[in-house]
Every structure is written in structure tokens, then in C-alpha cells.
Amino acid sequence: MERAAEIELARQLLAGDPEAFDRFVDHFRAKIFHYSQTVCGHREDAEEVVQETLLKVFENFDQLRDPEHVRAWVFRIAKNACLMKRRKSVYAPRQELSLDEFLPARGADGDPVKIEIADWSGIPENGVLRSELQHVLEDAIANMPEIYRSVMLLRDVEELSTEETAQVLDLNPDAVKTRLHRARLLARKTLDSYLRARRQPVEGN
């Protein structure tokens, strides 16, 4: 569903039009399920988080001041529902990862021109490689430290703005930017390794 259609549903619900109810529920159930599954990590929790979130959403719908921000508003409620259930992540880093860890490896002689990076130019819009990469990306997001995972999910998958993401996660916008950059670098690194391994000629061919 387009963002505009989602905003329209929120407007209709605010105006008391029950026609929008079922579509709103179905649309956001999928979104909240994915968010809580990625953050909480357990399917059973995710189903509970979905219901608890939507209950809070409807109980407090009149507090949604701006339907334009309905997605961020719902995710903020989902985040709080997740926090109540979240198990401490074993991946949580104590501090931000250093950017140096993401610099591509250089050639043996340190020549920056001989940087080791896969050829990303030929990734098709569809097809086997594209769908393989989607799976690699899914795993990459699932395996990142939680502080990066939630930012990447909100910013790049759900396409919230930096400010909206900051509000959902109780962070300042600079922290969102810092974490997003590291999350993207982590995902990029995993995808790059995959592409390089995939293009290694198979021995004997």
C-alpha cells in the first residue's frame, strides 16, 4: 500500500468512517509483525506485539495529531510493546562500531586503487540473483546488533524520515544517522562478500 493510501485510511478513521477499519488492520498487522519479529526475534512474541500494538492504536487514535505521520506513530507504539517483551540481544555492542571496520580491504601493497570490492553493476531488477540478494539482505538485517537493525528497518525498509525514526526510537537525529550508516555498511559488507563468493569460478569449470 502506498504511503498516501495509508494516510488516507488514517484520516477516514479519525473522521469516524469504519469502512477503513479492516484495511487499516490488515495493512498494519503485516508491518508490525515484521517489525516486532525482526526486533523481538520470536514469532510468538510478534503475534502478541501486533495485537497489543493495534489495541493501543485504536484506544488512542484520537491522539494521532497528524495523519501524515501515522506510520511513525504506529511504530512508536509497536516499539514500546516490543520493549516490554524484548530479550536482551546477545549481539548488542557496548559502543558504536568503528567506521574503520567497514573500510574495504586494500591490496597487499596497500594501493587504494586495488581495493577489494565486488562488481555491483550487473544486479538485475528481477531474477535469481536479485532474489538471492534479498535473502542475503534479510539475514544480514536479522544478524545485526539490534541498535542498527531497528534503525535500518525504519529508515530503509519502512522509509520513515530521519526525524520520524528519531521520535520512534527516542534518539536524536544524529544518532539515527550514525547508526543508519553503520547498519548500511554492515548490510553492504555481507552483500559484497556474497557477490564476490558467487563470482568465484568454480574449480574444474
Partner 1 sequence: MASHQHDENCKKMFALLSEYLDLELLAETCKEMAAHISGCGPCAAFTESLRKTIDLCRAYQPQELPGPIARDARQKLLEAYQKMLAGRRS
Using CB under 8 A, list all residues that contact partner 1: 13, 16, 18, 21-22, 25-26, 29-30, 33-34, 37, 46-47, 50-51, 54-55, 58-62, 99, 102-104, 112-113, 115, 117-118, 120-121, 123, 133-134, 137-138, 152, 156-157, 159, 162, 177, 180-181, 184-185, 187-188, 191-192
Closest CA to 49 of 21, 88, 83: 83
CB of residue 23 to partner 1, shortest distance in Å = 12
- Closest contact distance (angstroms) between CB of 204 and partner 1 is 30
Q: Which is nearer to partner 1, 21 or 205 (CB)?
A: 21
Of 32 and 79, which has the nearer Cβ to partner 1? Answer: 32
Least distance (Å) between residue 88 CB and partner 1: 24
- Cα pseudo-dihedral 14, 30, 153, 124, rounded to 10: -120
Phi-psi region of 118 (alpha: psi -120 to 50; beta: other; left: phi over 0): beta
Please name the residue ranges forming H helices in 60-127. 70-85
Measured in whole angstroms, the distance separating CA 20 from the mean position of its chain's CA atoms is 26
- Residue 163 vs 170, nearer CB to partner 1: 163
Rank residues 34 and 85 by Cβ distance to partner 1 and give the closer one.
34
Least separation in angstroms between CB 205 and partner 1: 26
In terms of CB distance, is 118 or 205 closer to partner 1?
A: 118
CB of 62 to partner 1, least distance (A): 5
> Residue 7 class from Cβ within 10 Å (0-12 exposed, 13-18 middle, 19+ buried)?
middle
Measured from the CB atom, is 121 or 205 closer to partner 1?
A: 121
Contacts of the segment 164-173: beta carbons below 8 A, 24+ positions apart = 164/69, 164/71, 164/72, 165/72, 167/72, 167/76, 168/72, 168/75, 168/76, 168/79, 169/79
CB of 90 vs partner 1, minimal distance in Å: 22
What phi-psi label fits residue 96: left (phi over 0), alpha (psi between -120 and 50 degrees) or beta?
beta
